[in-house]
Amino acid sequence: MSDEIVNKKRREFLGKSALAFSYAFIGVPAMATTSAAAATFDYKKTPFTLVYEGAITRNEPGKVNIHPVNYDLNGLNIVANVYTPANYDPKKKYAAIVVAHPNGGVKEQTAGLHAQRLAEQGYVTIAFDAAYQGGSAGEPRSVDKPQFRTEDIHGAADFLTRYPGVDPERLGLLGICGGGGYALNAAKADKRFKSVATLSMFNSGRVRRNGYADSQLSTIHQRLQQASAARAQEKAGGKILYAGDADMTDEQIAALPFDLYRQGYEYYWRTHAHPGSTFKYTQSSLLDLMRWDATDQIELIEQPLLMIAGSKADSLYMTQDAFPKATGTRDKELFIIDGATHIETYWVEKYVDATIGKLTPFYARTL
């Protein structure tokens, strides 16, 4: 396809129907447009509404179990799933891992998958819905601000370190996609986390500010004006405006300019759809997102750091940009999964296996 046609499709996409989405959402999972075929998961057919391969359907003695929980975070009710390892004994002491979900995601999707797989390795893990999102409380719905998403991670640590059997001195952190950027932010200051890992890290601030692949640098101030007007309207009691709220046909999805968008829509709207998962967020959130960056003061991370991304991910540039900036730790590694796109790391079995295969010795050594 010629550059002229690609640019035309990109302009059409960034235009009327999905302008907000283009500078907003990025943290999607993969599917029908990938090289691997994906089954479609129905959240209504599992008792815990999980939408991933190998999900727990019932708790059984001696196996990995799932425990729906809720807890208070600054006056908001947060819903989460705690996964306990096989033969879990609350009188023993276990290392534990907080798992932060992608932008637009919920605990029942890839965050739950990775939490379950890590529990299979002997860890107590937690996957939670961010405040204002999914099943967690907070109004207006779908607020997506860096300070809130970071506080979500601190709050999960508060809860998990008090969970029966958890050793608070052996707490790890895993952030996926947008959750990866917020995990970096949380680990800068929260030294309860003894090590931190990211998967397909998505720097929400950079993308909302500059556009995906820095494609919207010329419209930054225009979009800030729109976000400012949206906040003014919201605070005056008017209609709440949302970005990223689009309903697309299969043909429109196929025409999107980036793998992350195409495969993300397939993952979230087709194969791994969950009613709590949505692309949209309040347009006023952009005031906070666009002036934030996941790599600001990243040198404060002194803990062991592992960053994982797919070799074919068009989001790889964000991990490659962040990694060398983490100068505060000497114990760091960049691991590239050969052949994987961004969304494929969420669910494709061989890529999930590669991730868990790398995370297991990393957490075993650092926790």
Q: pLDDT (tens digit, 9 = 90+) per residue, 240-275? A: 999 987 778 889 888 888 999 899 999 999 999 999
Percent of the chain with pLDDT over 70: 90
Which pLDDT value is given to residue 244? 83
Which pLDDT value is given to residue 257? 87
Strand blocks (E) in the chain: 65-73, 76-84, 94-100, 124-128, 166-176, 193-199, 242-243, 281-282, 305-310, 332-337
Q: Is the dihedral of CA 293, 265, 222, 131 positive or negative?
A: negative
Residues 105-132: b if buried by 16+ CB within 10 A, e if exposed: bbbbbbbbbbbbbbbbbbbbbbbbbbbb
Which pLDDT value is given to residue 15? 34
184 CB burial (10 A radius; 0-12, 13-18, 19+): buried
The SS3 call for residue 92 is coil
Q: CA-to-CA distance for 199 and 27, rounded, in angstroms?
A: 11
And the tokens for 209?
A: 């500010």
Which pLDDT value is given to residue 337? 98
Selection from 144, 183, 112 nearest residue 25 by Cα: 144
Q: Where are the domains of the chain?
A: 3-366
Phi-psi map region of 277: left, alpha, beta (phi>0 left; psi -120 to 50 alpha): beta
- The β-bridge partners of 309 are 336
Q: CA-to-CA distance for 269 and 204, rounded, in angstroms?
A: 21
Angle, helices 110-119/349-366, rounded to nearest 10 degrees: 50
**Residue 39's CB: how many other CB atoms inside 10 A?**
10
Contact 98, 153 (CB under 8 A): yes
Q: Would you give the DSSP letter of residue 241?
A: P
Low-confidence ranges of the chain (pLDDT < 50): 1-36
Selection from 25, 32, 26, 27 nearest residue 271 by Cα: 32
CATH for 3-366? 3.40.50.1820
- DSSP labels for 165-206? TEEEEEEEEEEETHHHHHHHHHHHH-TTEEEEEEES---HHH
